[in-house]
Amino acid sequence: MPTFTETAKATKKKREIKLVGSDMYIITEKGIPKFDDIGPFKCEFISNRGTKVWPGFVSPDLLQVNWYRCRFMATKDVQDADVNTFLDALTKKGWWWSAAQKLWNYDGEPGFSKAY
């Protein structure tokens, strides 16, 4: 008789995983960051406290803190090594980042949320 844990683990489905980008968490006191394309990575949006601050309308009343989530999407097929190169390039450009979160599609569906 399998345990509940064993039964649960046995239900895991195999999913196709594809790297499609990276969320970068940037710390800056200079307001909303601006990025040129970095290799195959293009900035798609920037959010602050979960609210999209670029591109598009930003309420002048919006509270922004010094921590921005910057979503970079790959413009072509990329591998993990391309993310390493991207992180090096970002650091060399002077951006101070607290964390990176790779973005994967699972069976073709995004495994990451959009910003409000």
Contact footprint for another protein (CB under 8 A)? 12, 15, 17, 23, 47, 49-52, 57, 59-63, 65, 69, 101, 103-104, 106, 111-116
What's the closest the beta carbon of residue 115 comes to another protein, in angstroms? 6
Contact by Cβ (8 Å): 100, 25: yes
For the stretch 2-19, what's the b/e string if a residue is b when 16 or more beta carbons lie within 10 angstroms of its beta carbon? eeeeeeeeeeeeeeeeeb
Q: What are phi and psi of 83, to 5 degrees?
A: -65, -40
- In this complex, which beta carbon is closest to another protein, that of residue 62 or of residue 89? 62
What's the closest the beta carbon of residue 100 comes to another protein, in angstroms? 11
- In this complex, which beta carbon is closest to another protein, that of residue 51 or of residue 93? 51
Token pair of 106 as six digits? 């699972």
- In this complex, which beta carbon is closest to another protein, that of residue 38 or of residue 48? 48
